[in-house]
């Protein structure tokens, strides 16, 4: 049995979800299954190439829904999981018992672990460390910005490696280890360890670049680093630099897209009920995500459009913060 697993690439939670799915499948579905891992990224235009759905079974984890009949398994937790109402209807009508969705979960890894345990009897205890860190990282559940940015934990170092990876063979070496080994052992593996020193140096430089190019007005950070090779920067750097902030909007560029990242400070003092739903904002521009974090991808030749969208979102969020401050002033 050849199982092709499509997962959210350059993402700790997506990579961990792929590892967890493979362990679950071998333990509860077919012991001798062979896995092929294929990373997916959010980009402008079509997200799926259906000619790649070549497994005897095909699975998608931590990524948007595909209505293709060739997809046998699906697990996701993003609010913006469906590309269209038709896709959402297709999911609701599915009777396979192999497709699952819950946007209340902080991470797909934790959702997958809990769901397979409940439905299929999977034992998640041997991978408790992986599940716990995926939930912390994807749910931004760090104790403070210092923990998120200063990279002391093995999971944080692995996150940095995964997000910066350009080697197509790297995931095939890493994912099986995530399913079976402690994280501290994995970062000591030579193929991982050799990547850490230059990445730590790049990380320090990224802090300096974002410091020089960011501003925080009305609790909302804006920065444009499209002139630098910085996609995959640590998304908590803006809050580390501007702890008084509530939101951040950052523009970055890679070979295949210009990205508008829209996030919220996990340590903000703004009450949850006063926060703006960022997934809804991103969906207006063809993006998506969660209520507290989202993103929009534009083709590289539409960088000006990305910049306009970013500035529009900045003004909308700053206006929401001004209105919130005005209401607080009236009631104080």
Tens digit of each residue's pLDDT (9 = 90 or more) over 114-126: 999 999 999 999 9
Q: Of 1, 42, 34, 33, give the one whose Cα is nearest residue 293.
A: 42
Strands of the 247-253 sheet, one edge to the other? 214-217, 220-224, 247-253, 258-264, 293-298, 288-289
Asked whether the predicted pLDDT for residue 44 surpasses 70, the reply is: no
Asked whether the predicted pLDDT for residue 8 surpasses 80, the reply is: yes
Rounded (5°) CA angle 62-63-65: 125
What pLDDT is recorded for position 45? Answer: 61
Q: In this structure, how many other beta carbons lie within 10 angstroms of the beta carbon of residue 325?
A: 12
Contact, 238 vs 245, CB < 8 A? Answer: yes
What pLDDT is recorded for position 262? Answer: 97
Domains of the chain: 2-193 (3.90.1640), 213-331 (3.10.310.30)
What pLDDT is recorded for position 46? Answer: 64
Tens digit of each residue's pLDDT (9 = 90 or more) over 204-216: 999 999 999 999 9
Tell me the percentage of the chain whose pLDDT exceeds 70.
98
Average pLDDT over residues 190-210: 96
Contact, 61 vs 101, CB < 8 A? Answer: no
User: What's the CA gap between 264 and 235, in Å, rounded?
Assistant: 10
What pLDDT is recorded for position 277? Answer: 97
Q: Of 136, 107, 144, 103, give the one whose Cα is nearest residue 268.
A: 144
Q: Of 79, 234, 241, 226, give the one whose Cα is nearest residue 153.
A: 234
What pLDDT is recorded for position 239? Answer: 97
What is the DSSP code (8-state) at residue 63? S
Asked whether the predicted pLDDT for residue 130 surpasses 90, the reply is: yes
Contact, 166 vs 202, CB < 8 A? Answer: no
């Amino acid at each position: 049995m050849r199982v092709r697993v499509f997962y959210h690439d350059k993402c700790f939670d997506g990579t961990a979800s792929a590892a967890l799915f493979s362990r679950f499948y071998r333990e509860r579905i077919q012991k001798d299954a062979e896995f092929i891992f294929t990373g997916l990224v959010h980009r402008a235009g079509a997200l799926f190439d259906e000619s790649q759905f070549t497994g005897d079974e095909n699975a998608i984890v931590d990524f948007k829904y595909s209505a293709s009949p060739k997809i046998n398994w699906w697990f996701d937790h993003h609010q913006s999981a469906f590309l269209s109402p038709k896709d959402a209807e297709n999911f609701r009508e599915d009777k396979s018992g192999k497709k699952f969705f819950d946007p209340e979960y902080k991470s797909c890894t934790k959702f997958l672990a809990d769901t397979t345990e409940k439905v299929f009897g999977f034992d998640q205890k041997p991978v408790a460390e992986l599940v716990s860190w995926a939930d912390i990282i994807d749910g931004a559940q760090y104790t403070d910005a210092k923990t998120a940015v200063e990279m002391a934990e093995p999971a944080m170092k692995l996150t940095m490696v995964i997000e910066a990876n350009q080697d197509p063979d790297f995931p095939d070496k890493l994912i099986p280890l995530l399913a079976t080994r402690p994280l501290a052992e994995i970062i000591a593996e030579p193929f991982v360890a050799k990547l850490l020193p230059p990445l730590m140096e790049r990380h320090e430089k990224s802090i300096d670049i974002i410091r020089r190019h960011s501003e925080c007005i009305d609790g909302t950070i804006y920065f444009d680093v499209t002139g630098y090779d910085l996609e995959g920067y640590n998304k908590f750097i803006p809050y580390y630099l501007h702890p008084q902030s509530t939101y951040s909007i950052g523009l970055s560029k890679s070979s295949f897209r210009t990205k508008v990242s829209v996030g919220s400070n996990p340590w903000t003092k703004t009450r949850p009920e006063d926060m703006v739903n960022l997934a809804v904002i991103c969906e207006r521009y063809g993006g998506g995500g969660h209520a507290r974090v989202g993103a929009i991808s534009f083709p590289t030749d539409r960088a000006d459009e990305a910049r306009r969208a970013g500035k529009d979102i900045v003004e909308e969020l700053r206006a929401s913060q001004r209105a919130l401050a005005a209401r607080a002033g009236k009631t104080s």
